[in-house]
Structure 1
Amino acid sequence: MRALRLLGVLELADRLGTSERFVRRLVSERRAPFHKVGKFVRFDPEDIEVWLADHRVEPTA
């Protein structure tokens, strides 16, 4: 069993190169996978990698 290291909102924003506000909007619109741990929002890095791959836009031409 792997050790689960979940990311917080600020950590995910830093990893994505976005603002905390943008990450919180993704959560409120349920556009990104997340876990609720009590009142906290946490992200599994593996889920985020899959989510990013699924939303990749390939170039045309």
Structure 2
Amino acid sequence: MPRTPAVDTLRGGLPDRYLTPEDLVTLFGLDSVETVYTWRKKRTGPPGFRVGKHIRYDPADVRAWVTQQTAAEGEAA
């Protein structure tokens, strides 16, 4: 069974499953997955966790990170 793209499974803004770096690229309209890996290396993006050799992101953590970024941007304006 082929995997459903993240944009097709959105419910309330985010999928009901752990997200991959590729999902974040799709959700945020990023140029490449390297951006997500750079965020992780610099600890500037949403917190992720390892499952074996794979990185996964909890949708709730991604939502909290977006909220934090939005609030910080509002304070800077």
Superposition TM-score, scaled by structure 2 size = 0.66
Q: Displacement, 1:55? A: 1.2
Give 1:30's aligned amino acid: R
Q: What is the root-mean-square deviation in Å for CA atoms of aligned residues?
A: 1.6
Give 1:7's aligned amino acid: L
d(CA) in 2 for partners of 1:37 and 1:22? Answer: 20
Q: Structure 1: any 5+ residue segments left out of the alignment? A: none
Match of 2:22 among 1, 6, 10: 10
Give 2:37's aligned amino acid: R
Superposition TM-score, scaled by structure 1 size = 0.80
**Counterpart position of 1:22:** 35
Q: 1:12-43 CA distances to partner (integer Å, 9 max, x unpaired)?
A: 11101112110111111122200111110001
Equivalent position SS for 1:49: helix
The structure 1 segments of at least 4 consecutive aligned residues displaced by more than 2 Å after TM superposition are: none
> Higher helix share goes to which structure?
2
Number of matched pairs = 57
Equivalent position SS for 2:18: coil
